[in-house]
Structure 1
Amino acid sequence: MSDTSQDRKSTADANYTERLATLEKAGIKRLLPTQAPYRWNLRRLKLGRVLDIGCGLGRNLQNCGPDSVGVDHNPTSVATARERGLTAYTPEELAEAADCGPGSFDSLLCAHVLEHLDEDVASGLLTQYLPYLKPGGSVVLITPQEAGYRTDATHVRFVGFEELRAYADEAGLTTQRTYSFPFPRAAGKIFPYNEFVLVSSAPTA
């Protein structure tokens, strides 16, 4: 798997946004509601108002609670999410948003982001956005398993259950549960859409 600075940078440019949009309609996705299980998984977690970190085009954001907000370092992706009727900001815009101050969100969602980042950058990402979370709020981390990890050249570090727990611990979060979705863990070696999911909570004070 390539780990060049150009690969990492490419998640911030317009070509990456175009790639995400193309993948949304590729193959079987044109014919079947392939996102239905993932929408259900998010909704059953009852996350309330969510800050979706690395929201991309808004695939997960559109399935979060009312008034949820996305943030992404790719301004083209942010613009696309807005065109879809979602509320999304770049990090700089989020810092200035009147309704997004400290403690404004019930939950943080970080889905398919950490595998794009070096370890130190990933740790800093969680620290950066934790102030936006209410005391006792939830933090949900999702990453691809082996088959999914291999599908994207911008993935730079495999992040499994062990690494997710380490990120949560370092951020001062309490891990509530981890699970493989939508299929058992073994499927992740061949099914590219199997995910690691960690659900955690922030301190209450």
Structure 2
Amino acid sequence: MTDPARATSPGPEAPTDTASAGYTERLARLAGASWKQRLDVQRPYRWNVRRLNLGRVLDLGCGLGRNLAHLDGNGVGIDHNPTSVATAREHGHVAFTPEEFRNSPHARPGAFDSLLMAHVVEHVPHETAVALLREHLPFVRPGGKVVLICPQERGWASDATHVRFVDFTGLAELCGEAGLPVERAYSFPFPRRAGQVFAYNEFVVVARLPDRPR
């Protein structure tokens, strides 16, 4: 898909590497803005992820652990940024780098009820996203859920580390290549048209792993 025109400029000093300490610092700075804390801007997103009833979650690309916090820590996070992993741990979450996770007792077949990839796919080429999904699906139980979340146009344009724009069609294609039937796709928190101007509007796709053959 052709990338939409950048709606906003991320600024000349914005980090371009999601594995850097600077990227973690940017996430922490944005999340810690005083006005966001006063208004509890995460409240609708917290409600959204909780209502999906994800059970024990494998949060792939967990960042600072925001979604783990939304889920009251009921899960394990993985992130390739060691500084972000350390920050998530400081917040009381169970989080690992990919290598650490593979060597952990959590890396067991079917150990999780669901897989969450929130704001990950837009950071990597399509082939990498497919590989990540396939690599981690065995850790989810048969019949478990897979939730993919990506920013819409305004949000995509706000981050220099975003490499491609992914909409409902792109997420459905990703699920199809991984053998995951899509159960639901919706725009959140506002209707799709809001994504052109509201940086925090998201594409949400819910798919499910097939049950074991009987």
TM-score between both structures, scaled by the size of structure 1: 0.94
Q: Could you tell me whether the CA contact under 8 Å between 1:108 and 1:139 is conserved in 2?
A: yes
Q: 2:151 aligns with which of 144, 159, 162?
A: 144
Deviation at 1:145, TM superposition (A): 0.3
User: In the alignment, which residue of structure 1 is the partner of 2:67?
Assistant: 60
**What is the 5 A alignment of 1:1-205?**
10-26=17-33, 28-64=35-71, 67-205=74-212
CA contact (8 A) 1:180 1:197 kept: yes
Distance 1:202 1:81, change over 3 A: same
Q: How far apart, CA to CA, are the structure 2 residues paired with 1:113 and 1:195?
A: 12
4+ residue stretches of structure 1 with deviation over 3 A? Answer: none
Alpha-carbon shift at residue 9 of structure 1 (Å): 6.7
Q: How far is the alpha carbon of 1:65 from its aligned partner?
A: 5.6
8 A Cα contact 1:8 1:116, kept in partner: no
Aligned residue number for residue 3 of structure 2: none
> What letter is aligned with 2:32?
K
Give SS of 1:11's match.
Answer: coil
Superposition deviation, residue 113 in structure 1: 0.5
Q: Is the 8 A contact 2:15 2:23 kept in 1?
A: no
* Cα drift, residue 98 of structure 1: 1.1
- What is the total number of aligned residue pairs between the two structures? 201
Q: Is contact 1:101-1:132 (8 Å) kept?
A: yes
Gaps of 5+ in 2: 1-5
RMSD of aligned alpha carbons? 1.7
For residues 9 and 186 of structure 1, what CA distance do their matches in structure 2 show?
28
**Unaligned stretches of 5+ in structure 1?**
none
Q: Is the 8 A contact 2:68 2:74 kept in 1?
A: no
Decide which structure has greater helix share: 1
Matched letter for residue 35 of structure 1: Q
TM-score normalised per structure 2: 0.90
